[in-house]
Structure formats: structure tokens, C-alpha cells
Amino acid sequence: MEELGKGLVVEPYFPTVVLFGGLIKRAGSEAQQAEWLPRIIGGEVLGAFAYVERQSRFALHDCQTTATKSGDGYVLNGEKVVVFNGEQADHLVVMARTAGDQSDNDGLSLFIVDAAAAGVDKMSYAMMDGQRVANITFKDVSVSADALLGEEGGALAVVDALTDEAIIALAAEAVGIMGVLNAKTLEYTKTREQFGVAIGSYQALQHRMVDTMMAYEQSKSLLFKALCEYKQEPAMAAETVHALKVLIDRNGKHVFGEAIQMHGGMGMTDELDIGHYAKRLMMINTTFGDATYHRNRYIETAYAA
């Protein structure tokens, strides 16, 4: 993901492999894993995870979409918004409520849904960073019992665990972007002349470049810490993951802000990639919770009784 961030790659690796594939890897039966994982690895499937609703913001358990038992299968009704890769995806993992009330933690289930099935309707649009997302409505969409991913009613624990992995992946992408912004800005300050000398010779700008490099190194260090903890024991990494998301937000804004300022007025033009990297960082900052949300979650986790 760090390398994808460096190249500002727009291919749907994150929604297909990390989210769609990650859910199947975590919750799928042996038969489901055997059917889907080789196809994902082979690039034969474009997937997406439909979980966000208009009212839910960052609360994963706030779900109005329902999956009602009907015969040997289920019928899905509801709407999901801001589905990454939703426009291009040929299959979706949809989180829907099979029991309980809208905000209950229990009663949520995951289903693999054919994006071309009758009753599935998409409205696609572009986000600020240029990536395509979709709002998807499900009206009496019938799926078989085999479409159930994992245990009925047990989706929230699976999605919570996946969220930590997804945040680490996004943080790696952000670190890659910060590294590129620093390198491009450093090179620009070496060649851009003002009053007959390169602007990089001014001590004030040198100090600012040091600050952006420190922000990058700090972010990368915490990323490695979160990744190591997650690999050893995923449940114990939650505190570090929340801290990582907050740090990426703060340091990412600092790095792209300085990059834009040091490039001058052209820093946010479409012709220069600096602004495109900045927009991608801003999108990463709000995906799976913004800094305020994760700061509160960090406090809850760190000081839990």
C-alpha cells in the first residue's frame, strides 16, 4: 500500500483485496474461500464492501438495511452510500440487519451479492480525490443461503477486526504519499530561484523541510508499530491503530500543507500532482473514521476499566 500511495495508483486494490477479500478471508467458509480468493488474487473479480449508510457516519452498527429470511434464502432491502469501487464492482459484500433494532451491536450479517442482480441499483459519482464511489439501493434483492458470509448475526466483530487492518493499509498509503510530497518539495526548493539563489538555501525553509521529514518518519514509525502489534495479536493493536489514524491525519495535513505552500500558487493546480496527493490524503483522513472519532476511541480503549 505504501508503494501504491507513492504512485497515486487508482486501481481498486483497497476495496477489492483489503475489504472484499479481507472479509471473505476472515468470515468465509472453506468453500467460499476456495471459490473467491483465487479469483481475487488472479484479478478476475472486482469487489466492494457496502457498509456505510446515510445516518451511520462512523458507527458501523448503525444499520437500517435489512435481510429477511425467505424460503431457503434472504431478501435484502435498504441503501448503502459511499461504496468504494461500487460502480465497477461485479460483486459486493453487504452488511445487513437480520435481527434486532437499528443500533444494536448484535444481529448484523454479511452477504455476498451479485452487483448485477435484480433490485440492485447504483448511482455513481466522483469524490474530491477523483476516485469513483456509488450509492447502492437494494429493493427486494434475493440471495441464497450460500450468500451468507460467516455466522448470522456475527458480522460486527468481523468488520471491527477488518477495520483495524484497513486503517493500517490506508496509513501505509498515506506514508507513501507523504514521502513523495517531501521528495518533490525538496527537489523543487533546490531548483526554484528567488533573488538569484535557490529558495532551499533559506534557513527558514530548511527548518520547515526538517519538520515535514520528521512528520513523515514519525508516521512511518507508528505504522510499523501498529503493523507489528496487529500481526502478533490483532485484538491488542486497537489502541495503537486509533493513535495511528490520529497521527496520520495531523501529519498528513502538515506535510501536504507545507508542500503546497513551498510550491506557491501552482501547488493546487490540476497540472501539478502535489494537489492530487493532497486530496488523496484528505480522503484517507475521513475513511473509517476521522481524527476526532479515533481520538475518542483511543481514550476509551486506553482507559477502559
Tens of pLDDT along 217-241? 999 999 999 999 999 988 889 999 9
- CATH class, 2-153 region: mainly beta
Residue 34's CB is within 10 A of a number of other CB atoms, namely: 11
CA dihedral (56, 58, 59, 61) positive or negative:
positive
In the predicted model, residues of the chain with pLDDT beneath 50 are none
At 99 the pLDDT is 96
CATH 1.20.140.10 fits 158-302, yes or no: yes
**What whole-number distance in Å separates Cα of residue 149 and Cα of residue 213?**
43
- Distance separating the N- and C-terminal Cα atoms of the chain: 35
Model confidence pLDDT, tens digit, residues 15-26: 999 999 999 999
At 166 the pLDDT is 97
Secondary structure of residue 153 in the 3-state scheme: coil
At 264 the pLDDT is 87
At 16 the pLDDT is 97
Distances in Å between the Cα of 212 and the Cα atoms of 45, 171, 182, 216 are 39, 16, 7, 6
At 106 the pLDDT is 94
Angle between helices 238-263 and 273-286 (to 10 degrees): 160
Q: Which among 84, 171, 98 has a CA at the least distance from the CA of 136?
A: 84
At 143 the pLDDT is 97
At 266 the pLDDT is 86
**44, exposed or middle or buried, with CB in 10 Å at 0-12, 13-18, 19+?**
exposed
At 301 the pLDDT is 87
Secondary structure of residue 135 in the 3-state scheme: strand
At 202 the pLDDT is 83
Residue 13's CB is within 10 A of a number of other CB atoms, namely: 16
- In this prediction the pTM is 0.93
At 201 the pLDDT is 78
Sequence spans of domains, the chain: 2-153, 158-302
Compute the residue count for the chain. Answer: 305
